[in-house]
């Protein structure tokens, strides 16, 4: 029997083995079930954890960090059991929380170096790494300023810097673009993409923003109401094997929606009177035209579109 | 060219094993406090009684007509009682924000996402307060003993009062542990260090006033258990082999001090968490 090939992150996991695994995990807060019998496998690379607010994404990350203890189930991170090796896991993990967080009374460079030391780096190395990662995240010029004076966008960057300073094998990024302006958001997404695709850092990006996941990740796990709705490679989840049409009809959107649904098509409302119709296989727009004509509806706009993650997301969570 | 293209290096250096992060927290906390001029002034003021006592010891050792100033075992007990004032102020100045500020800045989740346990975090924070409180209690008391030996030029006093070594150690430890654990527990209850300071001062003054009021009405000094400070004083009298000031049994005084430390531990266990779950 052939011995498994160790992974490149030094964990001893076989190549291709998931970096994070959950088996039947449930987390209950009082009477509220935040995670319901969740089983999922996060492969190496960049994985998106996608879902609406309250879907259980942050709870999952907090459970993996050992912040909340599941009422049932098992979790493994980088091949280690979360229940028994939480500290060893955290030594190799970086966490960028969703909420604003910093150590009070410190300049950015002191804060990041301090975080490096907390993660086990010697003081001199921690300080050197602090300077490096602050430049990397674009805060080089502001590194001697007190973190409390930073703007929202800068605070997001410093949270990334403190998560990176000890060079983790796995990064948890919880809503990394929260509160950022469009330019800052694009830069943050570039950084995340660079980390995952060029720097060899495994990462899990939790977000409710589909474009963020599409831009940065290779795999996606879609969550809804505390359960996994769907998971897989981004292309596979985005799917299909079919075409998506943007459709607008004159005075009869609801009727058309009902007709298409009755005919077995997947239809999602997007904005106002535009709907996205998923036509499986190679069939073109002709069936849609026929259906509209047969019912006296006038098609005003019909345009072929690319199936997006949004379609997959809507399918997975059962949205209209 | 985007700035991040300047590169991100993987780290190949050494890493400390887990279990040492509390020292990082302690070092950073002490360094931060010592960088404040106000605190340095308070620290200097806290050493003023030591200077006064040192002069007393010098005069008593060198001038026969001032022999009435000769230190006794009681002198060290009185010295530590004086230092209780500075213990109070330093505890509020340093301790009030130790956890409250971290809670205000959501820093607990950053700390606890690193390879350190909740108890290691508490140990680091407590080490800050313990170190600074020991520097105004145990340290000057021991130095006073050394000064006495130095000025007297003999070990006669120490030999006659050998119990002072464990007495100073034990009483200082009880004093600083009680103050540190109580303050840390209070600090974990709020996000406002000012509020924590007021709560601590309130706890000390209210319980003391309550005991004095009840004592004034009933004449029963065994009710000293109502006030942790008075229970500690009672314990101090016993440790320094002095007549007890209250009718409170020693076991009860010890139970108040230990009970408050344990209760503080329970509060810290419940409050120092990365995630606050409101059910």
Per-residue pLDDT at B35 = 95
Cα–Cα distance measured from residue A317 to residue B63, given in angstroms and rounded to the nearest whole number: 91
* Residue B8 resides in a domain: no
* Residue B12 resides in a domain: no
Of chain A, the percentage scoring pLDDT greater than 90 comes to 58
pLDDT surpassing 60 at residue A12: no
pLDDT surpassing 50 at residue A4: no
Mean pLDDT of B25-44: 96
A288 vs B218, which has greater pLDDT? B218
Instruction: Taking the CA atoms of A24, A25, A29 and A30 in sequence, report the sign of the dihedral they define.
Output: positive
> Which stretches of chain A are assigned E, i.e. beta strand?
20-29, 32-42, 46-50, 72-77, 80-81, 93-96, 170-174, 202-207, 219-224, 227-233, 242-250, 266-271, 274-280, 298-305
Whether A119 sits inside 8 A of B7 (CB atoms) is no
Per-residue pLDDT at A2 = 38
For an interface test with B, the pick among A63, A88, A118, A142 (most B C-beta atoms closer than 10 Å) comes out as: A118
* Residue B11 resides in a domain: no
Domains and CATH numbers, chain A: 20-237 (3.40.50.300), 239-317 (3.30.70.100)
* Residue numbers of the domain that contains B65: 19-271
Average pLDDT, chain A: 87
Q: Are strands A20-29 and A72-77 parallel, antiparallel or unpaired?
A: antiparallel
Q: Which helix (H) or strand (E) holds A129?
A: helix A123-136
Mean pLDDT of B165-175: 97
Nearest to B184 by CA among B121, B114, B275: B121
Residues of A in contact with B14 (CB under 8 A): 122, 125
pLDDT surpassing 90 at residue A79: yes
Cα–Cα distance measured from residue A80 to residue A61, given in angstroms and rounded to the nearest whole number: 15
ipTM: 0.89
- Range of lowest pLDDT (A50-54, A150-154, A155-159, B233-237): A50-54
* Residue B187 resides in a domain: yes
The encoded tokens of residue B268 equal 């810290």
Residues of B in contact with A96 (CB under 8 A): none
Cα–Cα distance measured from residue B92 to residue B183, given in angstroms and rounded to the nearest whole number: 8
Distance to chain B for A235, nearest Cα, Å: 28
Of chain B, the percentage scoring pLDDT greater than 70 comes to 96
Average pLDDT, chain B: 93
CA atoms within 13 Å, Cβ hemisphere of B165 = 6
* Residue B6 resides in a domain: no
Per-residue pLDDT at A306 = 62
Are A87 and B18 in contact, with CB atoms under 8 Å apart? yes
Per-residue pLDDT at A53 = 84
A104 vs B3, which has greater pLDDT? A104
Backbone phi, then psi, for B217, in 5-degree steps?
A: -80, -50
Cα–Cα distance measured from residue A105 to residue A82, given in angstroms and rounded to the nearest whole number: 32
Which residue of B8, B106, B114 is in closest CB contact with A100? B106
pTM for the model: 0.85
Mean pLDDT of A26-50: 93
Cα–Cα distance measured from residue A7 to residue A15, given in angstroms and rounded to the nearest whole number: 5
Per-residue pLDDT at B256 = 97
Cβ-Cβ pairs closer than 8 A, A with B, add up to 132
Q: Note the pLDDT tens digit of each residue in B230-245.
A: 999 999 999 999 999 9
Cα-Cα-Cα-Cα dihedral of B129, B130, B132, B136, to 10°? 130
Query: Domains in chain B: how many in total?
Result: 1
Q: B156: buried, middle or exposed (CB in 10 Å: 19+, 13-18, 0-12)? A: exposed
* Residue B4 resides in a domain: no
Whether A114 sits inside 8 A of B24 (CB atoms) is yes
The encoded tokens of residue B7 equal 């590169």
**Any A CB within 8 A of B32 CB:** yes
* Residue B10 resides in a domain: no
* Residue B1 resides in a domain: no
């Amino acid at each position: 029997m052939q011995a498994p090939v160790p992974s490149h992150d030094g964990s001893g996991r076989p190549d291709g083995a998931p970096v994070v695994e959950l088996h039947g995990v449930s987390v209950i807060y009082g009477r509220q079930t935040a995670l319901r019998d969740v089983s999922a496998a996060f492969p190496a690379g960049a994985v998106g954890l996608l879902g609406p607010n309250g879907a259980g994404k942050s709870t999952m990350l907090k459970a993996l960090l050992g912040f909340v203890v599941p009422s049932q189930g098992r979790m493994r991170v980088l091949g280690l059991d979360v229940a028994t090796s939480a500290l060893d896991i955290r030594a190799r993990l970086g966490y960028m929380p969703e909420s604003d967080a910093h150590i009070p009374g410190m300049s950015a460079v002191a804060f990041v170096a301090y975080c490096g030391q907390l993660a086990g780096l010697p003081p001199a190395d921690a300080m050197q790494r602090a300077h490096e990662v602050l430049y990397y995240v674009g805060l080089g010029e502001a590194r001697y300023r007190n973190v409390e004076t930073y703007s929202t966008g800068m605070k997001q960057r410093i949270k990334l810097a403190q998560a990176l300073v000890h060079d983790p094998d796995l990064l948890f990024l919880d809503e990394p673009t929260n509160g950022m302006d469009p330019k800052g958001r694009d830069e943050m997404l570039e950084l995340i993409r660079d980390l995952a695709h060029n720097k060899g850092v495994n990462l899990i990006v939790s977000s409710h923003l589909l474009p963020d996941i599409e831009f940065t990740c290779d795999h996606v796990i879609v969550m809804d109401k505390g359960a996994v709705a769907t998971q897989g490679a981004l292309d596979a989840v985005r799917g299909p094997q079919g075409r998506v049409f943007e459709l607008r009809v004159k005075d009869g959107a609801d009727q058309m929606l009902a007709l298409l649904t009755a005919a077995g098509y997947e239809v999602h409302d997007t904005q106002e009177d535009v709907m996205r119709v998923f036509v499986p296989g190679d069939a073109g727009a002709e069936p849609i035209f026929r259906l509209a004509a047969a019912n006296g509806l006038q098609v005003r706009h019909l345009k072929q579109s690319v199936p997006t993650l949004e379609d997959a997301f809507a399918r997975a969570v059962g949205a209209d | 060219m985007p700035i991040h293209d300047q590169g991100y290096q993987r780290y190949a250096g050494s890493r400390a094993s887990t279990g040492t992060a509390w020292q990082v927290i302690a070092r950073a906390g002490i360094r931060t406090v010592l960088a404040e001029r106000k605190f340095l002034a308070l620290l200097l003021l806290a050493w003023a009684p030591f200077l006064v006592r040192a002069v007393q010891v010098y005069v008593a050792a060198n001038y026969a007509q001032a022999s009435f100033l000769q230190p006794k075992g009681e002198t060290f007990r009185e010295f530590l009682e004086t230092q209780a004032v500075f213990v109070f102020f330093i505890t509020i100045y340093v301790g009030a924000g130790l956890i409250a500020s971290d809670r205000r800045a959501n820093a607990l989740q950053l700390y606890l996402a690193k390879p350190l346990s909740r108890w290691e975090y508490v140990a680091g924070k407590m080490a800050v307060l313990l170190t600074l409180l020991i520097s105004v209690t145990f340290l000057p008391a021991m130095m006073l003993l050394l000064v006495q030996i130095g000025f007297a030029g003999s070990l006669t006093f120490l030999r006659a009062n050998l119990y002072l070594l464990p007495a100073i150690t034990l009483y200082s430890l009880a004093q600083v542990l009680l103050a540190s654990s109580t303050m840390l527990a209070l600090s974990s209850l709020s996000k406002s260090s000012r509020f924590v300071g007021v709560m601590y001062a309130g706890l000390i003054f209210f319980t003391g006033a309550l005991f004095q009021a009840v004592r004034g009405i009933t004449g029963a000094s065994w009710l000293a258990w109502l006030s942790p400070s008075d229970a500690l004083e009672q314990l101090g009298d016993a440790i320094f082999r002095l007549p007890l000031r209250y009718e409170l049994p020693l076991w009860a005084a010890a139970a108040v001090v230990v009970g408050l430390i344990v209760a503080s531990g329970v509060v810290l266990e419940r409050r120092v968490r990365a995630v606050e779950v409101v059910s």
